[in-house]
Amino acid sequence: METARLLIRRGTAAEPPRHEAFEVPFEPGQSVLDALRRIRAEQDPTLAVRYACLNANACKECMMLLDGAVVYACTARLEPREMRLDPLPNKRLLRDLATVIAPPDERLE
Amino acid sequence: MPAAPIQMETDILVIGAGGAGLYAAIEAARQGEGQGEGQGEGLGEGQGAARVLLLDRSLIGRGGATVMAQMTVAAAVAPDDDWRRHLHDTLAAGRGLCDPRLAALLCREGPECILEMDRWRVGWAREGDGLRQVQAPGHDRPRCVYVDFLSTGPAVSRTLRTQAQRHKAIRRLGDVVVTDLVLQDGPEGRTVTGAVGFDMTTGAPLAIAAAATILATGGLTRLYRRNSASSNMGGDGYALALRAGAALLDMEFVQFFPIGHLAPRLVGMDPIMWDPFRYKLGGRLLNGAMEEFIDRYGAEDGGRYRATRDLATYAITREVAAGRGSPHGGAWLSFTHIPEAELRAAFGPVIDRLAGNGIDLTRDAVEVAPIAHYHMGGVRVDTDMETGVPGLLAAGEVVGGANGANRLSGNAITEALAFGRAAGRTAARRVAAGVAPRLDPAAAAAALALAGAGGPEPAAGAAPNMAALVARLQAAMSDHVGPFRTADGLARAAGALAAIRAEAGALPPGRPRPHDLARLDWFDLRQMLLVAETVVLAAAARTESRGAHQREDFPDTDPGWTLNQIVRLDGGALRLDRAPVLAEAA
Ligand SMILES: Cc1cc2nc3c(=O)[nH]c(=O)nc-3n(C[C@H](O)[C@H](O)[C@H](O)COP(=O)(O)OP(=O)(O)OC[C@H]3O[C@@H](n4cnc5c(N)ncnc54)[C@H](O)[C@@H]3O)c2cc1C
Ligand code: FES
């Protein structure tokens, strides 16, 4: 079976940037978010990523960089190749792929 | 370095910022503002408005079902319609189990909310001088408003959020997960005096003092593997209410939507999107051998799929069980017999989104299967949305009773808006009557300790994979507590839940830190397990079939079971009681 290799930025803003590779079986039609959730359930539950609606592309939480371009992870298709994932560059990094995206007046600080 | 707990105070705490929570916040804030609907500038400065804190575990207005709803909203707004007709249809659909007072509130106040939303420029589709209304199954006339194209939910959310922003009294706050309510003794008896949770962005525990707390946390369909929900719909509100001493009503009634999208993988679309096209065009439902099968189950389908939801769910489930399912375990839905021009006209731009998913409806059938969609049961409230526990209110899908054993299409958003408004009103009244926030730190201590607790490190493999445990819970619920249930299956589900509970352990993994999903999964599992147990308990006790609860071992509706079931947490154990259905309101 073909596999997709996800190269994922890990850690917090305080740590030196590093990428970790995960391999998942490639199933045609799957989204990048499907693969990230599968990694969490099968390989590494600590992987941090934002999402809520999974399918409907309604919550707009899953924005990240795929090979340097901004995508929604829930609509970007998984491909049987190496795909590099990074957090949004212009938002404060929380951990891994998760950033602070709430409007300033809807945050705690 | 353990994060220090954050302390906050408000008059009215609203947990959950979907349709119900947003409307509740707006209504509560404007009560003290003399109903002002001033233009432009912010409202509520320096006046008698209660302070409102509107929290959500995700982004405000984006985390729940409201923003995902693509279809229609039922309300008797047409000049020739009457809310009593809507009530009649709602009670009929509920198969004898509706709380008629709540159903009446939904139908009577729904139109006021819909028209207010219209003044707020939500953009309901129009026809002539009025709102355009379409027919949905179970309604005696076209009664459902909508926003084109498939934009009802996003438009409702955006409009309410914009209104909430205009009120200075409302503070909106995302990324806060509420894990427990705070209970303490007071002049009214055991009273909810606020809530405890944690800030997702740092992991820091937090306590919020409030004179009134409104649960607006939405439904529980995340308990199922295949659902139309968001990841925030594990049923937190039911668990919060139970632990605070409130009663849950009719938890066995989970609505399954028969033709949820199954395959090929569809991204960027709500999985229940096929329904409106079924209304418009028909559409053939076929088994794995490409044969029509619905009529074998007693429905006259005539080559156009129009069977009712429960029957279609039954027929699909049976065909799959008999080995005649489609490749992914559902049925085929085909529009290939419909001319391309007609498809274009009906689907509009959706055709192109489908093409982006590799689906050409003139050529391809898609696979569909039942999917968990909505929960009729929930927190028991009166028409003021009071739970009976002083200081605790509930609104929206988390409330049980208005829809009985089966919900009418389009009633859920109306319920969220009308009940949210009622809860906001009641909460404001409580504050106006002089109840002030007074949270005793000792009462919050145990919940705060849990929110900040350190457990086994997941990275070191010392803790079980909580995401995998959530998936196991969903599998057990789907396999045994889906649309068709048996005593044997329900017992197996109970066993599976007990095993998962033991494996999850008593402490969240790791320690508080930014955006830690492994910890969040543990807190979610804690609530999901309790809520799933209430569904299993109530489903096992109801030895009949009615509406969304179908027992294969008790296939008939038993008039003797025209009763509500009430679950409470009593000394740490769930207790189930029966109660007569309330008589219709005068
Ligand atoms: C895909 C889909 C389509 C639908 N289509 C329709 C339709 O066409 N017509 C109709 O009438 N109904 C429809 N429904 C049902 C309807 O959308 C919901 O019943 C309704 O929107 C519920 O509103 P709510 O405000 O009660 O809850 P929600 O909108 O679900 O909001 C609940 C909020 O609470 C937050 N929350 C939950 N737990 C916590 C916690 N512990 N701490 C902090 N915040 C928390 C969540 O993040 C969420 O934002 C649909 C539902 C779905 C899923
Ligand atoms: S997960 Fe909601 S938009 Fe991607």
Tell me which architecture the domain covering B6-253+376-442 has in CATH: 3-Layer(bba) Sandwich (3.50)
Pairwise pLDDT comparison (B445 vs B71), residue with the higher score: B445
Q: Residue B291: exposed, middle, or buried by beta-carbon count in 10 A (0-12, 13-18, 19+)?
A: exposed
Block residue for tokens 């599998």:
B475
Distance from CA of A78 to the nearest CA of B (A): 11
Interfacial A residues in 33-92 facing B (CB < 8 Å): 34, 37, 40-42, 44-61, 72, 74-75, 77
Measured in residues, chain B has a length of 586
Name the band, by pLDDT with cuts 50, 70 and 90, for residue B267: confident
Handedness of CA B54, B55, B61, B64 (dihedral sign): negative
pLDDT score for B148? 82
Phi, psi of B564 (to 5 degrees): -90, 150
CA neighbor of B544 nearest in space, from B102, B97, B87, B219: B97
pLDDT at position B305, please?
58
With the CA atoms of B309, B312, B315 and B318 taken in that order, what torsion angle do they form, in degrees rounded to the nearest 10?
-60
* Residue A85's CATH number: 3.10.20.30
Cα(B445)–Cα(B210) distance, integer angstroms? 16
Pocket test for ligand 2, best of A50, A51, A101 (most atoms within 8 A of CB): A51
pTM of the shown model:
0.96
Number of domains in chain A: 1
Closest approach atom of ligand 1 to CA B74: 11
- Ligand 2 center from residue B415 Cα (angstroms): 25
Looking at the CA of residue A50, tell me the nearest atom of ligand 2: 1
B57 and B232 Cβ atoms separated by less than 8 Å:
yes
| Contact criterion met (CB < 8 Å) for B173 and A106 | yes
User: pLDDT per residue over A8-54, tens digit each?
Assistant: 999 999 999 999 999 999 988 899 999 999 999 999 999 999 999 98
pLDDT at residue B407 tops 60: yes
- pLDDT for the residue B272: 86
Residues of chain A with Cβ-Cβ distance to B42 below 8 Å are none
Expressed as residue numbers, the domain containing A54 is: 3-99
pLDDT tens-digit series, residues B479-516:
999 999 999 999 999 999 999 999 999 999 999 999 99
Average the pLDDT over B375-396 and give the result.
98
CA atoms within 13 A on the CB side of B142: 11
Q: Decide: A55 in ligand 2 pocket, CB within 6 A.
A: no
DSSP B353: H
What is the pLDDT at residue B32? 79
- Give the span between the Cα atoms of B4 and B1, in whole angstroms: 9
| Mean pLDDT estimate for chain B | 92
Q: Average pLDDT in the B545-574 region? A: 96
Mean pLDDT of B540-566: 96
| Separation between Cα atoms, residue A52 and residue A61, nearest integer Å | 7
Top pLDDT among B412 and B354 is at B412
CATH code given to domain B258-371: 3.90.700.10
The ligand 2 atom nearest the CA atom of A51: 1
Confidence check: pLDDT of B219 > 60: yes
Three-class HEC string of B443-484: HHHHHHHHHCCCCCCCCCCCCCCHHHHHHHHHHHHHHHCCCE
Do the chains contact at B60 and A37, CB–CB below 8 Å?
Answer: no
User: For residue B377, which of B197, B267, B517, B219 has the smallest C-alpha distance?
Assistant: B219
Residue B68 CA to residue B184 CA, distance in Å, equals 37
Cβ–Cβ of B518/A49 closer than 8 Å?
no
Contacts of B354 (CB under 8 A, 6+ apart): B266, B347, B360, B361
CB of residue A59 inside a 6 A radius of ligand 2: yes
Identify the pLDDT of residue B299.
Answer: 65
Which has the minimum average pLDDT: B525-534, B559-568, B575-584?
A: B575-584
Residues of B with CB below 8 A from A34's CB?
265
**pLDDT above 70 (res B3):** no
With a cut of 90, say whether residue B394 has pLDDT above it.
yes
Q: How far apart are CA B199 and CA B179, in angstroms?
A: 11
CA B163 distance to own-chain centroid? 22
Question: Model confidence at B43, in pLDDT bands (50, 70, 90)?
Answer: low
Instruction: Find residue A93's DSSP bridge partners.
Output: A99
CA distance B58 to chain A (A): 7
User: pLDDT value at position B303?
Assistant: 54
Please indicate, yes or no, if residue A109 is contained in any of the structural domains: no
- Select from A32, A62, A99 the residue to mutate for testing ligand 2; criterion: most ligand atoms less than 8 Å from CB: A62
Residue A108 domain-assigned (yes or no): no
Q: Average of pLDDT values for B199-204?
A: 96
- Tell me whether residue A104 is in a domain: no
**Residue B179 pLDDT exceeds 50:** yes
pLDDT band at B301 (very low <50, low <70, confident <90, very high): low
Q: Per-residue pLDDT averaged across B326-345, rounded?
A: 93
Contact flag B265-A50 (C-beta cutoff 8 Å): no
C-beta of residue B536 within 8 angstroms of C-beta of residue B497: yes
pLDDT at position B1 is 45
CATH fold, domain B456-565, is Methane Monooxygenase Hydroxylase; Chain G, domain 1 (1.20.58)
Contact B29, B160 (CB under 8 A): no
Query: Around Cβ B81, how many Cβ atoms within 10 Å?
Result: 18
In this prediction, residue B297 has a pLDDT band, given cuts at 50, 70 and 90, of confident
pLDDT tens digits, B269-294: 888 888 877 777 878 899 999 999 98
> For residue B555, which of B490, B488, B489, B486 has the smallest C-alpha distance?
B486
The answer to whether residue B284 is catalytic is no
Using a CB-CB cut-off of 8 Å, the residues of chain B touching A100 are 201
- Is residue A51 within 6 Å of ligand 2 at its C-beta? yes
Instruction: Specify if A106 maps to a domain.
Output: no
Name which of B34-38, B72-76, B225-229, B524-528 the model is least confident about: B34-38
Digit-coded pLDDT (tens) for A54-91:
888 999 999 999 999 999 999 999 999 999 999 999 99
pLDDT in tens, B228-262: 889 999 999 999 999 999 999 999 999 999 999 99
* Residue pair B93/B143 in contact by the 8 Å Cβ criterion: no
pLDDT given at position A31: 94
* A61/B271 CB distance under 8 A: no
Domain assignment present for A105: no
What is the residue-wise DSSP string for B322-342?
Answer: TT---TTSSEEEE-TTS-HHH
Selected residue with higher pLDDT from B302 and B171 = B171
- Scanning the structure block, which residue is given the tokens 């949820």? B260
ipTM of the complex: 0.97
Q: Which of B222, B309, B425, B526 is catalytic?
A: B309
pLDDT at B585: 59
Q: Which of B570, B585, B586, B571 is nearest to B248 (CA)?
A: B570
